[in-house]
Structure 1
Amino acid sequence: MFRPPGSTSPWTRSQTSRPLRIPQHERDALIDELTKTLRDVEPFSLMVGSLLSSRYGVIADLHPDDQLAALHHRVCEAIRAVRGDAAVQYPGVSST
């Protein structure tokens, strides 16, 4: 899994690379796609363990993380469906 330079967390890749000035029609499409994609996701619990701070931010151990990973994947796929691959990647960095 891709990790930005200096990061040890895979969850930092959930940032979007084109966050500014999303037109209303794209926001509406994102709402529709996320609603459709996430309508059957059941609530789940996570235990957040040891926090480690660094100059890059705070890292937290999460357990169990399988449902969070599945949620992350579904959200990325919904964003990708509306805004394309570049919307779920860091600018100038390939995830392959």
Structure 2
Amino acid sequence: MSTTFTAENATEALILEQALAYARQLARTATDAPDGQVLRLAEACVLEQGRELLRRSLAIVLQAQAEGGEKKGPRAAPAGAARDAPTRADPTTNW
């Protein structure tokens, strides 16, 4: 069976590649497992490789977002206070 997926951007493409590698590893693990060990080994693969897939996906998305922020330029600077405006609370005031 052959199915085609279309990624809308590089981030999706990387995550799709990672997910495909994960699915193939899980299938190989189940196929290669000795009789009576399929469930145990497949579960171990899901836990280990599934977590790794999630970590990689998160890293890919965060990296893409960080790069997108860099393209937008630096964040706007905070607005300054007026020179004669007090910037601290009155110490004699009891809140």
With structure 2 as the length reference, what TM-score do the two structures score?
Answer: 0.31
Structure 1 or 2: more strand by fraction: 1
Structure 1 or 2: more helix by fraction: 2
Bigger radius of gyration among the two: 2
With structure 1 as the length reference, what TM-score do the two structures score?
Answer: 0.31
